[in-house]
Structure formats: C-alpha cells, structure tokens
Amino acid sequence: MKLIRNVFAGLALSIACLSGSHAAQLPGGGAGYYGTAEYSDGGGATVGPYSTWVECANALEAALDNAANNYANYPDWSVVSVSGCGYYHHYFADVTEAEASLQLIQLDIVAHSPWESVRKAHDLLGRVRATRARYAADEYEAAMIAIHRASAFE
C-alpha cells in the first residue's frame, strides 16, 4: 500500500511539474516593454513587462505621479532621469550593448524643485511619445517583434 501511495505521489508531482512548464510567465520576468525612472534618493521605479509601448508609457507616467504624490514634499527629492519604454525579448544574451542602448535611452533631468523635476520628466516622455507617433514606431516594432517570434519557430 505504501509503495502504491509513493508511486501515485511521484506521478502527481511529475504531472504538476510538466503542466507548470506550459503556464503563462509571471509578470516582471519576460519579454515586453519596460521603462524606468531614477530618483535623487537612490530609489526609482521600473514598470513592465507590457505588451504595448502605450501601456508601458502610461504605467511609467503613473509611477512618476505616484512618486511625486508621496515624496515631492521632501525638498531633496527629485526625478533625476527617465528611460522611456523599450522592448526586450526573453533572450537578453542576443542583444548587444549597442542595441540595448538604442532601445532604452536615459534622459537626464536637472530641476530646481521636486515638482519641476516631475513636470520635466512628463515633458520628456511626451516628446518621446510624439516622436514615436511621427515615425510610426509602434508599427515598426510590431513588425520586428513578429519577425523575432516567427524566427523562434523556424
């Protein structure tokens, strides 16, 4: 009886491990759009992964607003840089440093007050949004992501 129970327990664990390999990835660990903000106190925010640039950009701007509402009353706190959202795939080893630096550009912010730093961060991200629209970046990235995904199955 003990042998049968151990065999069934082993089978159940094996099935559980196999079915877990087909589960969806947990948030925060896969391919998608990521964005970051750095604060003067050494903290910061990272958002992602998101399936679209717009979702990521909206989350990054919301993170900036949340930080401002919590910390902007401290005179030494400010946003010192933002990196607009960029797409990263699962295989980070496939991306060279030069490619990575083109995907996520750090924009430094110099401001005289916490609220001015948040306003400047929003302004810079707004300019990135307008530039992406002007050059149809969403369509280009969607095509490139489709090519990357298709290449994984060839």
Residue 61, pLDDT > 50, answer yes
User: What interhelical angle do 114-134 and 53-71 show, nearest 10?
Assistant: 170
pLDDT, residue 151, reads: 81
Beta bridge partners of 33: 50, 87
d(CA 149, CA 30): 13
Q: Which amino acid, residue 89?
A: H
Residue 4, pLDDT > 80, answer no
In tens, the pLDDT along 76-118 reads 899 999 998 988 765 545 555 545 544 668 899 999 999 999 9
Q: Which residue has the tokens 């992501």?
A: 145
Instruction: Give the Cα-Cα-Cα angle 46, 50, 56 (nearest 5 degrees).
Output: 60
Rg of the chain, C-alpha, whole Å: 21
Domain ranges of the chain: 32-151
Structure pTM?
0.71
4-8, 50-54, 136-140: the lowest-pLDDT one: 4-8
